[in-house]
């Protein structure tokens, strides 16, 4: 797994911090966990909300596996993902109360991705996307950007209706690659309006993570890619990307 987040060029100009929080770690059963929270640019404490959401979601999943109650059925997986989203929302609301500000000042989206060789699950509130490639390298989106009337509108975790209809996907079958990305990369990584993965964007990236000889250096290389003119000329927001490769047995 290789992952990186970089501050967007617009945030550099405005002297704003990176408002994405991307966390990842291995799980029992040769699985990988990725969590991405993307704080709203209009929120005064966006990075605080994103951090609270990402950490709470990660801790919920990790504690479930550490407790020995690994999900067995699709319903178990759905329950785990919903619990992670609920914990994230609770953490954000608590952080807002601690600062005596309205929850919308900590607005953030959230995507949770758990990748295994034969099972991949994802949950999402808001924009961004999680996707997989099967053994034949066929790409499929697990979650897609959730937008309103306008392209830059979405549902945030702080919304009163955020948990009413979250995107939840449980996909069984062999997975070779997976990716998690923020909304800053959507126009490059997805084909609009169908919101399907754009193969020319992902194919060289999946080849990169598969052939990376030095995984200690790979995150810096991915970071350099995200900061390259070919990306920043078309995307000025914070950029976060996680790439996973599951070798064949």
Instruction: Give the integer Cα–Cα distance in Å for 35 and 230.
Output: 26
Supply 86's token pair: 């609920």
Going by C-beta distance under 8 Å and a sequence separation of 6 or more, which residues neighbour residue 18? 5, 6, 7, 8, 11, 47, 238
Backbone angles phi, psi at 27, to 5 degrees: -120, 160
Using the Cα atoms of residue 138, residue 142, residue 146 and residue 152 in order, give the sign of their dihedral: negative
Q: How many domains, in total, are found in the chain?
A: 1
Instruction: Return the CATH number at 119.
Output: 3.60.40.10
Backbone angles phi, psi at 138, to 5 degrees: -80, 125
Instruction: Give the integer Cα–Cα distance in Å for 22 and 54.
Output: 7
Residue 181, classed as helix, strand or coil, is: strand
Q: CB–CB of 34/22 below 8 Å?
A: yes
Instruction: Give the integer Cα–Cα distance in Å for 43 and 75.
Output: 35
Q: How far is CA 18 from the centre of its chain?
A: 15
Q: To which H or E segment does residue 106 belong?
A: none
Instruction: Give the integer Cα–Cα distance in Å for 157 and 155.
Output: 7
pTM over 0.75: yes
pLDDT, one tens digit for every residue, the chain (249 residues): 899 999 999 988 888 899 999 999 999 988 999 999 999 988 999 999 999 999 999 999 999 998 777 899 999 999 999 999 999 999 999 999 999 999 999 999 999 999 998 899 999 999 999 999 988 889 999 999 986 545 567 899 999 999 998 999 999 988 899 999 999 999 999 998 899 999 999 999 999 998 886 778 899 999 999 999 999 999 999 999 999 998 776
Q: CB–CB of 115/34 below 8 Å?
A: yes
Q: Buried (b) or exposed (e) across 87-126, using 16+ Cβ within 10 A?
A: bbbebbbebbeeeeeebbbbbbbbbbbbbbbebbbbbbbb
Domain range enclosing 123: 2-245
Residue 160, classed as helix, strand or coil, is: coil
Query: How do beta strands 190-191 and 196-197 pair?
Result: antiparallel
Instruction: Give the integer Cα–Cα distance in Å for 189 and 191.
Output: 7
Residues in the chain, overall count:
249
């Amino acid at each position: 797994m290789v992952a990186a987040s970089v501050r967007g060029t617009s945030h550099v100009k405005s002297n704003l911090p990176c408002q994405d929080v991307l966390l990842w770690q291995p799980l029992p059963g040769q699985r990988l966990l990725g969590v991405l929270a993307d704080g709203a640019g209009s929120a005064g404490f966006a990075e605080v909300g994103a951090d609270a959401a990402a950490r709470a979601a990660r801790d919920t999943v990790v504690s479930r596996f550490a407790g020995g109650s690994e999900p067995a059925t699709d319903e178990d997986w759905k329950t785990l993902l919903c619990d992670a989203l609920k914990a994230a929302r609770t953490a954000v609301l608590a952080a807002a109360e601690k600062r005596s500000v309205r929850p919308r000042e900590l607005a953030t989206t959230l995507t949770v991705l758990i990748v295994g060789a034969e099972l991949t699950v994802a949950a999402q509130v808001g924009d961004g996307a999680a996707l997989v490639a099967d053994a034949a390298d066929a790409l499929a989106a697990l979650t897609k950007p959730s937008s309103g009337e306008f392209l830059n509108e979405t549902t945030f975790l702080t919304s009163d209706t955020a948990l009413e209809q979250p995107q939840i996907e449980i996909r069984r079958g062999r997975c070779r690659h997976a990716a998690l990305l923020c909304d800053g990369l959507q126009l490059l990584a997805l084909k609009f309006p169908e919101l399907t993965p754009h193969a020319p964007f992902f194919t060289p990236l999946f080849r990169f993570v598969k052939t990376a000889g030095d995984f200690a250096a790979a995150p810096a290389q991915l970071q350099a890619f995200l900061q390259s003119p070919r990306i920043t000329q078309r995307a000025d927001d914070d950029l976060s990307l996680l790439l996973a490769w599951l070798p064949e047995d």
